Amino acid sequence: MSKLEDIINVVYQFQNRGIGKTHAAIMHAKEIGATLVCVNRQHAREIASEFGINTVGLESFNADKFRGSKKPVVFDPDALFAAMMGADRDINSLQNINQELRKEIENLKTELAGEDA
């Protein structure tokens, strides 16, 4: 994680601690019979035992598992934020790999053009 991502994560967590968004997500999931996606498995277990709802930790969330399901899925806002940060990190990583591969392709083209001459 970059320094900027660390700072954004810490600021987000401190600005949003104790304002009731997770509790609202829990109550909504309970009301509609949804599965609640939590930040991690430990948090999911705690919520499941305390509130008696279906939960899953973000690290074990598999969208394919829910494909075709008639039950809704509710994301805890912290889990959604973590998922977006992870997606952003993955996109940046893939963009860097793409740039490296493009440079390698250009180097190979140059080498091949030099051999033909």
If DSSP codes are grouped into helix, strand and coil, which group holds residue 66?
helix
pLDDT digits (tens, 9 = 90+) for 13-31: 666 666 688 899 999 999 9
The total number of structural domains in the chain stands at: 1
Specify the higher pLDDT residue, 11 or 71: 71
Task: Domain of residue 64: give its range.
Answer: 3-116
Q: For residue 37, give the amino acid letter.
A: V
Q: For residue 34, give the amino acid letter.
A: A
How far apart CA 56 and CA 40 sit, in angstroms, is: 8
- The token pair at 81 is 């934020």
pLDDT digits (tens, 9 = 90+) for 55-114: 998 887 777 877 877 889 999 988 988 888 888 889 999 999 999 999 999 999 988 888
- The token pair at 77 is 């806002």
Q: Which of 76, 3, 1, 8 is nearest to 38 (CA)?
A: 76
Q: Which residue has the tokens 């829990």?
A: 26
